[in-house]
Amino acid sequence: MIGRFTHETRGKGLHEVTRLVQQVVDRSGIDEGLCTVMIQHTSASLTIQENADPSARRDLQDWLERHVPEGDPAFTHTAEGPDDMPSHIRAALTSTTLSIPVVHGRLALGTWQGVYLWEHRRRGSGRRCVVHVGP
């Protein structure tokens, strides 16, 4: 079963989308199988991360920004602004696809895990994801 969702972001950061992914799993009726989530963008990514303490997400965001800063004079891809090429690199270093087992109709995430859409651009955007759930 294929499902889709769009999540509106308001700028950089990790946005939890676990509920949206689980809704697709629910509609699939699959009790056990695999859920694959893919983001259809090159300047945002997906990750499974701690959903209890927001400081973990802030630290991840800060670390990635320190290692892939905006304004690097070596970047030639600058037509969409100074945050565009760093966003592509950040997406390449993280994940654009996740695979999560489905057990008893639920995403088999750990106690403190959530699925996050990681927006790498300063401006918000409607980010599209495709979800496949199969036995």
pLDDT digits (tens, 9 = 90+) for 68-77: 999 999 999 9
**pLDDT over 90 (residue 28):** yes
The pLDDT assigned to 86 comes to 97
Residues 99 and 15: their CA atoms lie apart, in Å, by 18
Average of per-residue pLDDT across 30-52: 98
The pLDDT assigned to 124 comes to 86
Residues 135 and 62: their CA atoms lie apart, in Å, by 38
Q: Give residue limits of the domains in the chain.
A: 2-134
**pLDDT over 90 (residue 51):** yes
Edge-first strand listing for the sheet containing 113-119: 13-16, 113-119, 44-50
Residues 93 and 109: their CA atoms lie apart, in Å, by 22
pLDDT tens digits, one per residue of 56-115: 999 999 999 999 999 999 999 999 999 999 999 999 999 999 999 999 999 999 999 999
β-strands 13-16, 44-50 pairing: unpaired
Residues 33 and 37: their CA atoms lie apart, in Å, by 13
What CATH class is the domain 2-134? mainly beta
Q: Under a CB-based contact definition with an 8 Å cutoff, are residues 131 and 19 in contact?
A: no
Q: Under a CB-based contact definition with an 8 Å cutoff, are residues 85 and 8 in contact?
A: no
Average of per-residue pLDDT across 17-46: 98
**pLDDT over 90 (residue 10):** yes
- Which ranges in 18-111 belong to alpha helices (H)? 18-28, 54-67, 84-93
Q: Under a CB-based contact definition with an 8 Å cutoff, are residues 77 and 71 in contact?
A: no
